[in-house]
Amino acid sequence: MKDPVVAGAGVAASIAAPAERGRVSRLTRWLESEKLLATVLLVPGMAILLIFIAYPFVMALWYSLTSIRVGDPGEFVGIANFAKAWNDTVFQLAFKNTVFYTFWATVFKLALGMWLALLLNRSFRFKRIIRASMLLPFIIPTVLSAFAWRWMFDPTFSVMNWLLYHSGVITDRLPFLSDGDWALWCAVLVNTWRGMPFFAITLLAGLQTISPDLHEAAALDGANAWHRFWHVTWPLLLPVTLVVVVFSVIQTFSDFQLIYVLTGGGPANSTHLIATYAYQVGVASGLLGEGAALSLFMFPVLFGVVWFQLRFMKRMEGH
Amino acid sequence: MANVTIRNLNKNYENGFHAVKDVNLEIRDKEFMVLVGPSGCGKTTTLRMVAGLEEITSGDIMIGKDVVNDLPPMDRNIAMVFQNYALYPHKSVYQNMAFGLQMRKYPKDEIDKRVREAADILGIQPLLERKPRQLSGGQRQRVAVGRAIVRHPEVFLFDEPLSNLDAQLRVQMRVELKRLHERLETTAIYVTHDQVEAMTLGDRVVVMKDGWVQQVGEPLELYEKPANRFVAGFIGSPAMNFVEVTISDSGGALWADAAGLRLKVPPQMVERVRAHTGKRATLGMRPEALHLASGSDHADFCFDTAVDVVEPLGNEILINFRAGGAAMVTRVDPSVRVKAHQNVRVALDPGRVHFFDETSGAAI
């Protein structure tokens, strides 16, 4: 166990200038204590986690049990905020929306991302440029791209409606964002567009670890393209797939920006996700306690997902 | 069971690399044919074209009476053993071996029968439920072979199947493969860069270099009558000794001359070598065609030198020395006592001399 530490310290000492050597070697000795080094290395990360994650989380827990609002510290109300949220029809819809949005966006991202990854894994001209440019939707700030999409879906200026109308596909304008169901599907579409590259690039990395010999062996064994995918690629890609799916579920379930910019939760609160609704109640309306309670409803679901992921990773390590 | 015919086979890669050049081969039914050569000689590409894993640029490949140029690998009725085994890591040994039969929709009991039969032949019955990662290299190799033999293919293809094994295991698997081939009597094409493997396994051996076939023949034929200098140097270990000589005619006899070395061209070679009188040629002598001279050796076939390094191997001794401007080695009986720097007289067995054309390298 001590070796890596010693080796690391040795490198540090050997690259130091001779004049500094005495001081550095004292530091080296000091750092050779594993406990001390571990503490030194852990402190910055722990501090960040404590200040920006643990503290707000504990505060949210506390707020959710009080009637705090902007300008009023409020008082302890027990689980009244949770009970209220539970019976709130908008929240019920937001919860359903979140599940719907997460489920379909993840299904599409996985299916299309897999398809894209399989395509990109072949060799073709301009492979690198195309692989790199595919990441564009992923690296453009979501707020920016969501704005662009909002204009494309705009009731009056929608370029999509214009195109479909003038090419004779439709005779009436489509209510992209002005109908609750349509708007939610639009959000799924934009989320898929934005998240697909991450799936594709991660799955592509996974694909490249699969030896081409296995596909050749399968081809000689009489497997057609579908069988090769199903019997070779898919099972070998499963660990990577599960990891990206879990990441995606966590991010999509707690998504805020995209809906906030695209629909703002409208029309008539019909496209709220838990995060946007909690924001509206807690920040926009200033009901901090109720907002905190709403947002905490995400916790059990995300906790379940993370628990599943950890369990799975442990099983993989066992292999 | 089938023979494999390769006609004017060529492979050009898109980057312009001409990997296989006009290869013509006739692999007989039940024959064990070995393709051997240094890396990049086109042997693996040739094998992969037979397998259907690599497209043919021009030429024909026939298995039995059928031209298979455009048939996908699965329709060629061949099985291949890969260098790194290519076992499906998520499937058990049993499933690995059964997969090819499942894909071909064999009934379950037939699959079971064949897998167990193959496992029996290869001695891997206790491993059937294991995953490949739980197996040693030799066991994986057996499973890879098992996967090939359950299919009862017309042709086995082996792509350097032993090169990932350690030396001892390689020797053992070599014997097993040979025994297996005798038992199954299936046509086999085997690619290796190891000339010992080629010599010990092959009914016939194809030596390749730079995409060209250099020589096709039985192992001893390649050893005794190499077609050119490349084959002569590639087959045999330690390699054949080569000396650049000038052929001269004096006193009615032909002589091969090099710095500090003058050897008579043996009578059986005179006719062929005469055309090269006054020109340069390469003289080739196997290490065992040289020995330390005794009274019975004729002076015309002897030369003097000093021992450089002595390598005692137990069953033989290799004596390294320089003569005629070249490093040479001779293989002698272990009872011979010589020391480094000792002056010795080396004699040549006149019946085992090779001459090669200086420019083309072809045997004279």
- For residue B71, the chain A residue with the least C-alpha distance is A220
C-alpha closest to that of B214 among B360, B352, B83: B360
Q: Which of A216, A223, A227 sits opposite B86 (nearest CB)?
A: A216
| Residues of chain A contacting residue B73, judged by C-beta atoms under 8 Å apart | 216, 219-220
* Mean pLDDT of the B227-252 span: 90
Give the minimum alpha-carbon distance from A239 to chain B in angstroms, rounded to a whole number: 12
Distance CA A253, CA A247 (A): 10
- For residue A221, the chain B residue with the least C-alpha distance is B100
User: Which pLDDT score is estimated for B2?
Assistant: 84
* Mean pLDDT of the A50-62 span: 92
CB contact under 8 A, B90 and A236: yes
Tell me: pLDDT of A124 over 60: yes
Q: How far is CA A77 from CA A64, B127, B274, in A?
A: 9, 65, 115
Q: Which residues contact B270 (CB under 8 A, 6 or more apart)?
A: B253, B254
Distance CA B116, CA B121 (A): 9
Tell me: pLDDT of A316 over 80: no
User: Which pLDDT score is estimated for A85?
Assistant: 86
Distance CA B260, CA B257 (A): 8
Least confident of A7-11, A93-97, B48-52, B156-160: A7-11
Which has the higher per-residue pLDDT, A205 or B296? A205
Q: Is B355 left (phi over 0), alpha (psi -120 to 50) or beta?
A: beta
Residue with tokens 């002589």: B255
Tell me: pLDDT of A7 over 70: no
Confidence tier at A114 by pLDDT (50, 70, 90):
very high
Residue pair B56/B11 in contact (Cβ under 8 Å)? The answer is: yes
Q: Which helix (H) or strand (E) holds A98?
A: helix A89-120
Distance CA A282, CA A56 (A): 14
CB contact under 8 A, B80 and A217: yes
Interface test with B, best of A221, A226, A232, A317 (most B CBs within 10 A): A221
* Mean pLDDT of the B258-283 span: 87
C-alpha closest to that of A304 among A255, A239, A246, A245: A246
CB contact under 8 A, B82 and A213: yes
| Residues of chain A contacting residue B96, judged by C-beta atoms under 8 Å apart | none
Q: How many helices (H) and strands (E) does chain A have?
A: 18, 0
Tell me: pLDDT of A202 over 70: yes
Q: How far is CA A174 from CA A155, A191, A193, A297, in A?
A: 8, 20, 20, 34
Distance CA A277, CA A129 (A): 40
Residue pair B77/B100 in contact (Cβ under 8 Å)? The answer is: no
How many other β-carbons are positioned within 10 Å of the β-carbon of residue B199? 19
Residue pair B177/B186 in contact (Cβ under 8 Å)? The answer is: no
HSE, side-chain direction, 13 A CA sphere, residue A32: 14
Q: What is the 3-state secondary structure (H, E, C) of B14-71?
A: CCCCEEEEEEEEEECCCCEEEEECCCCCCHHHHHHHHHCCCCCCEEEEEECCEECCCC
User: Which pLDDT score is estimated for A48?
Assistant: 96
User: Which pLDDT score is estimated for A18?
Assistant: 55
Strand order in the sheet with B155-159: B78-81, B155-159, B187-192, B32-36, B204-209, B212-217
Give the minimum alpha-carbon distance from A315 to chain B in angstroms, rounded to a whole number: 14
- The full set of domains in chain B, from first to last, is 4-234 (3.40.50.300), 241-357 (2.40.50.140)
User: Which pLDDT score is estimated for A1?
Assistant: 38
Strand partners, B255: B248, B264
User: Which pLDDT score is estimated for A12?
Assistant: 45
Q: Which of A211, A213, A220 sits opposite B73 (nearest CB)?
A: A220
Q: Which helix (H) or strand (E) holds B309?
A: strand B302-312
Could you read off the pLDDT of B77-119 as tens digits, one per residue?
A: 899 999 889 999 999 999 999 999 999 999 999 999 999 999 9
Give the minimum alpha-carbon distance from A116 to chain B in angstroms, rounded to a whole number: 24
Give the minimum alpha-carbon distance from B246 to chain A in angstroms, rounded to a whole number: 51
User: Which pLDDT score is estimated for A10?
Assistant: 44
Burial (CB < 10 A; 0-12, 13-18, 19+), residue B336, is middle
* Mean pLDDT of the B55-74 span: 90
Q: What single-letter DSSP state applies at residue B234?
A: H
Which has the higher per-residue pLDDT, A165 or B49? B49
Distance CA A61, CA A53 (A): 12
Residue pair B36/B42 in contact (Cβ under 8 Å)? The answer is: no
User: Which pLDDT score is estimated for B360?
Assistant: 87
C-alpha closest to that of A114 among A203, A245, A246, A239: A203
Give the minimum alpha-carbon distance from B93 to chain A in angstroms, rounded to a whole number: 15
Q: Which residues contact B213 (CB under 8 A, 6 or more apart)?
A: B23, B24, B25, B206, B207
Give the minimum alpha-carbon distance from B144 to chain A in angstroms, rounded to a whole number: 10
* Mean pLDDT of the B340-357 span: 90
Which has the higher per-residue pLDDT, A17 or A44? A44
User: Which pLDDT score is estimated for A20?
Assistant: 57
Q: Which of A220, A227, A236 sits opposite B80 (nearest CB)?
A: A220
Give the minimum alpha-carbon distance from A242 to chain B in angstroms, rounded to a whole number: 16
How many other β-carbons are positioned within 10 Å of the β-carbon of residue A90? 17
Tell me: pLDDT of B215 over 90: yes
User: Which pLDDT score is estimated for A193?
Assistant: 93
> What contacts 24+ positions apart, CB below 8 Å, involve B130-137?
B130/B92, B130/B93, B131/B89, B131/B90, B131/B91, B131/B92, B131/B93, B132/B85, B132/B87, B132/B88, B132/B89, B132/B91, B132/B93, B132/B96, B133/A319, B133/B89, B135/B93, B137/B164, B137/B165, B137/B166, B137/B169
Confidence tier at A23 by pLDDT (50, 70, 90):
low
Tell me: pLDDT of B153 over 80: yes
- For residue B85, the chain A residue with the least C-alpha distance is A213
| Residues of chain B contacting residue A232, judged by C-beta atoms under 8 Å apart | 88
Strand partners, B285: B241, B353
User: What is the average pLDDT value for chain A, to the nearest integer?
Assistant: 85
CB contact under 8 A, B74 and A214: no
Residue with tokens 């390749």: B208
Backbone angles phi, psi at B231, to 5 degrees: -60, -40
Residue pair B9/B56 in contact (Cβ under 8 Å)? The answer is: yes
- For residue A222, the chain B residue with the least C-alpha distance is B74
User: Which pLDDT score is estimated for A51?
Assistant: 94
Q: Which helix (H) or strand (E) holds A279?
A: helix A274-279
Residue pair B201/B177 in contact (Cβ under 8 Å)? The answer is: yes
Chain A contacts to B (CB-CB under 8 A): 211, 213-214, 216-224, 227, 231-232, 235-236, 319
CB contact under 8 A, B74 and A221: yes
Which has the higher per-residue pLDDT, A178 or B6? B6
Chain B contacts to A (CB-CB under 8 A): 51-53, 72-74, 78-80, 82, 84, 86-90, 99-100, 103-104, 133, 147, 151
User: Which pLDDT score is estimated for B362?
Assistant: 87
Q: Which of A214, A222, A319 sits opposite B88 (nearest CB)?
A: A214
User: What is the average pLDDT value for chain B, to the nearest integer?
Assistant: 90
* Mean pLDDT of the B352-362 span: 89
Residue with tokens 């959000």: A187
The CATH fold assigned to A82-318 is: MetI-like fold (1.10.3720)
Give the minimum alpha-carbon distance from B207 to chain A in angstroms, rounded to a whole number: 25
Could you read off the pLDDT of B169-191 as tens digits, one per residue?
A: 888 888 989 988 988 889 999 99
Q: How far is CA B254 from CA B274, B280, B300, in A?
A: 7, 13, 11
How many other β-carbons are positioned within 10 Å of the β-carbon of residue B278? 8
CB contact under 8 A, A227 and B103: yes
Confidence tier at A319 by pLDDT (50, 70, 90):
low
* Mean pLDDT of the A108-128 span: 89
Q: Which of B90, B100, B133 sits opposite A222 (nearest CB)?
A: B100
Q: How far is CA A224 from CA A79, A212, A257, B111, B298, in A?
A: 58, 15, 43, 19, 70
Confidence tier at A21 by pLDDT (50, 70, 90):
low
User: Which pLDDT score is estimated for B26?
Assistant: 92
Tell me: pLDDT of A3 over 60: no
Least confident of B44-48, B59-63, B271-275: B271-275
Least confident of A42-56, A106-120, B36-50, B294-308: B294-308
User: Which pLDDT score is estimated for B269?
Assistant: 85
Q: Which of A213, A222, A231 sits opposite B74 (nearest CB)?
A: A222
CB contact under 8 A, A221 and B82: no
CA dihedral A162, A165, A170, A171 (to 10 degrees): 120
DSSP string, A27-79: HHHHHTSHHHHHHHHHHHHHHHHIIIIIHHHHHHHHHHTB--BTTB---B-TT
- For residue A227, the chain B residue with the least C-alpha distance is B103
User: Which pLDDT score is estimated for A9?
Assistant: 44
Residue pair B252/B294 in contact (Cβ under 8 Å)? The answer is: no
Tell me: pLDDT of A6 over 70: no
Give the minimum alpha-carbon distance from A312 to chain B in angstroms, rounded to a whole number: 16
Q: What single-letter DSSP state applies at residue A285?
A: S
| Residues of chain B contacting residue A236, judged by C-beta atoms under 8 Å apart | 89-90
Tell me: pLDDT of A8 over 80: no
- For residue A228, the chain B residue with the least C-alpha distance is B103
Tell me: pLDDT of A13 over 70: no
For strands B18-27 and B155-159, give the pairing. Answer: unpaired
Q: Which residues contact B343 (CB under 8 A, 6 or more apart)?
A: B304, B305, B306, B307
Inter-axis angle of helices A298-318 and A234-253, to 10 degrees?
160
Least confident of A220-234, B39-53, B258-272: B258-272
- For residue A223, the chain B residue with the least C-alpha distance is B103
Residue pair B93/B122 in contact (Cβ under 8 Å)? The answer is: no
User: Which pLDDT score is estimated for A54?
Assistant: 93
User: Which pLDDT score is estimated for A17?
Assistant: 54
Strand order in the sheet with B18-27: B18-27, B4-12, B58-63, B66-67
Could you tell me the residue ranges of all domains in chain A? 3-64, 82-318
CB contact under 8 A, A219 and B74: yes
